[in-house]
Amino acid sequence: MKVENEIMNEVIKVNQLNKKYPGGQQALRDFSLVVKEGEIFGFLGPNGAGKTTAIKILLGLLEATSGEVQVLGGNPAQPKVRRGLGYLPETANYYEFMNVLELLRFYGVLCDMSKEEIDRRGDEILELVGLSEVRRRPLREFSKGMLQRAGIAQALLHDPQLLILDEPMTGLDPLGRKRMRDIILSLREQGKTVFFSSHELSETEVVCDRFGILKQGELCWCGHPSEMVGDGDVNLERIFLRFIQEE
Ligand SMILES: Nc1ncnc2c1ncn2[C@@H]1O[C@H](COP(=O)(O)OP(=O)(O)OP(=O)(O)O)[C@@H](O)[C@H]1O
Ligand SMILES: [Mg+2]
């Protein structure tokens, strides 16, 4: 029974993932990772390290060249698994003629939500991300940070069990970042799992339970700075720089 529970708790499980793009670029090398239910996991790595590639594979949007992926106990391509997932893409591509309310209705329908549920939850979420006052403006008039907030609203709308966010802090002003931090912390309180990539080490350090550093497609460190005992004053930035600069 204990073993079964432990397996259930593995919200993300990838084993020996490799991804080689058709052009020949090896974006992931033997990437293995387990993220447990309720964890807030910070996925770090320099530009081009393979974070977005790994995220797209976790979502079933991209196929790995080899290796195994299990998300919420199943294959991410399965509709029942997808419904438990909230995703913020690195670059959003929304219909610009829509306003954010229409955007949420569009996604809500895709997630099988009723109109009443979409409207009730939509109000709540727009308040949470600070877009209530611009809810009727078309997305083409949105600034970069406003679009990012719309993306976060879309990812949260159906109250998913697992949030996979590709650089959620990017483009947000200081208040937006604080809101994002608070959202992540409140998701933790609700027992949700959050897996997100970021270049904002200090922002990430405050909210995450565990971190992984990807370098040229390989996971070169996974853990928490507090585990680096006997190393003097360790913080996430120092660990990051040490692993990234190491040959
Ligand atoms: N569609 C593609 N075709 C070929 N190569 C690609 C493609 N997408 C990404 N790559 C390559 O795969 C590697 C990993 O890219 P990826 O976008 O996953 O990195 P990342 O860690 O998300 O970077 P960033 O921090 O800049 O977002 C890079 O070398 C990139 O050039
Ligand atoms: Mg990326």
Ligand 2 centre distance from Cα of residue 54 (Å): 9
Q: Which residues line ligand 1 (CB under 6 A)?
A: 21, 23, 25, 27, 45, 47-53, 90
Report the atom number in ligand 1 closest to the C-alpha of 50: 18
- DSSP string spanning 138-199? BGGG--HHHHHHHHHHHHHTT--SEEEEESTTTT--HHHHHHHHHHHHHHHHTT-EEEEE-S
CB 27 within 8 A of CB 21: yes
87-134 pLDDT per residue, tens: 999 998 899 999 999 999 999 998 889 999 999 999 999 999 999 999
- Could you report the per-residue pLDDT of 187-244, keeping only the tens digit for each? 999 999 999 999 999 999 999 999 999 999 999 999 998 887 666 668 899 999 999 9
pLDDT tens for each residue of 3-57:
445 455 999 999 999 999 998 899 999 999 999 999 999 999 999 999 999 999 9
